[in-house]
Structure 1
Amino acid sequence: MDRSLTAEAPGIEAFIRDLPKVELHVHLEGSMRPATLIELAARHRVEGIPGTPEEIRDWYEFRDFPHFIEVYLASVEALRDEEDFALLAADVAATLAAQNVRYAELHVSLYGHLMRGIPARVVFDGIEHARREAEREHGIHLRWIPDFPGDYGLEAGEETLDAVLRDGPDSVVGFGVGGIEVSRAPFTDLFGRARAAELHSLPHAGENGGADHVWEALDLLHAERIGHGIDSMGDERLVGRLRDEQIPLDVAPTSNLRTRAVDTIGKHPLPRMMEAGLLVTLNSDDPPMFGTDLLNEYRTAHGLGLGAPELATLARNGVRASYLDASAKREMITEIDALLARFPAP
């Protein structure tokens, strides 16, 4: 990321700040600020959660992906009632809006709450209240992607989808699977049922489980976007399919570094993915847990060698891969193009 410290940096920094953005791969629960986590843990007397921001930062030093999931699930214990979910969603909306994010599709770890006995209605009522307030206060539009951890098995997925179909608001746009990466094949019929209910298929795949899981997500789950998908780069035939069909891949470089999916940020395949003609979007995944945000992901992309035209392409890709309506997409892309036209050529 040293290139962000060159003489070009001030211009790039303003360009990144002013870019109209969408975010398509960010987890609601993983976006909880340390101060909010500490407040909720104290309110509900949740044990095992550090009590200071400094201790939280140390807690967020992940050994590997399973360790990240362990910490993630522990932090979710602090969310108990409708007011908690409203507070969290309001915080996240304000943080995104401050980065000039106009629209976001947030993954909601619904099964992580159902398994604790918290009804889906409590979750949805809380986040919907915050969504409506955020739209009025900040002008940001939020949509939801409930998901379940694949390593918990098919029953977890069925319980999650049942809850979504029963209690999910109109702002739910898709259905996902995440967690520790396992074969997507067992979820074929489950995702068929979700698609029949007009929910978009938005699974994680190829984050750290290999290209085979991306093939399964495409062929069996009929994925419309792939969460992460960086392992696709090891399979030339898969790269060709993703390029030819322009299937979006929601990439989060800092997340991949912090969960040890890549050894160093310099080894991240983002530039190669773009050179291969893939439709890549840029995302923050679980920003406070990874010490990042969407602005920083654009800085990181710049540090990997991407200039203003490529950053604008990432922003356009996000708009195109979103479920915004057509007119809103056109307006945002026009803004992105106008901003790029004003940026001095290298």
Structure 2
Amino acid sequence: MKKLVILILIPLLQACGDSDTELPYIKAKSAYTCAQYNESRAYGDIGTQNRIKLATMQQLDESYIGSTKIENYYRSNYTNNRKVFASDMNDVISYHLVFEKKLNDTCLNKSDISLSDAMTISINKLYTELSTQPQLATCQSYIDNKISYNDILVEAKKVQEYHILSPVKKIINTPNYGEKIIKENLIKDCETNPQRRLWSLFISIASNLRIEIDKKESEIRTQEREKEKLEYEIKNYATSLFSRDDANCSSYENQYKLSQRSDGNQKLFKEGLNGTIADVALHLKSHQKEVFDKLFSDNPDKIALKILDTCQGIVRDPNSPGYRLTGAYHGPEFNGKSQLVSVLASLPDLPPENPSEAKRGPIRPLVLPERR
């Protein structure tokens, strides 16, 4: 009796195979055979070929709903019911092509079997064959140590896959990164989604790490440029312009703008601006300087703005927030330190340089004729 039970169980076990690596044949009767499938292919009847293939695939979808590795593999890569995103289209096409080729070969060699059995045979073969191919294996192969990190790199070099080679080279040569971080991300993401295509995941991880590195390097370069720029500005504008050779309206405008900037260095530039104005005032006549010192002491910001306006040819209306442009200042000295002295001396609040000219009024900026 025991021998009889064993003899009965042996063929059953052989039929079932390894539940994790082989799909069993479906119990539902297939409506189509490989002979019909082959005939539609032979006549180029793509419509019929796709119709009977999709109908048979639907039967497989209804049968393979378990939690074995190969059923998960089937549902992730071949079923009609899987969710497909735009970013996955290359993977979808790749698995579709290898499945169709395997199904065609199976049906040509076994035209007398049902199409559903042919599909099951094809999936079982692909599951085994692709598990050691770096380009088409899933993450499960990486988890099961069927494919290593080095296997992927060797394949990438073989096919010149620069979407892997280029970022990996960058990652390896970047401090605090290296191969270790790629491997860590690879195993973490593979464990989250074992049926994802390993090749695509590797490209995604390498690409994201490369983007992260490039972003950090860009931020560092920006910080360095900002630091160099600030050092230049402090060197040239945090002290009086009269300490160097380009104390003119153009430099004054730059210094004034920096003094109005709302950051931690505003005070430095404002001190430099006031130093410039104080040095300009030293070149005024004594009777002008006496008036100027009082005006500057009462409202330094107002004086600073008036100098800027005169340099830029701006006339402000005290009764209106706007202003009109008359043209840049064209005093007797257009360039050099004396330009700022001339600008300051021309301010309407100061007495003329020569007291005898008091009746004629102060020097005004040149007013350009309005365009018609």
Q: Under a length normalisation based on structure 2, what TM-score does the superposition of the two structures give? A: 0.21
RCO higher in 1 or 2 (8 Å CA, sep ≥ 6)?
A: 1
Larger helix share, 1 or 2: 2
The higher radius of gyration belongs to 2
Larger strand share, 1 or 2: 1
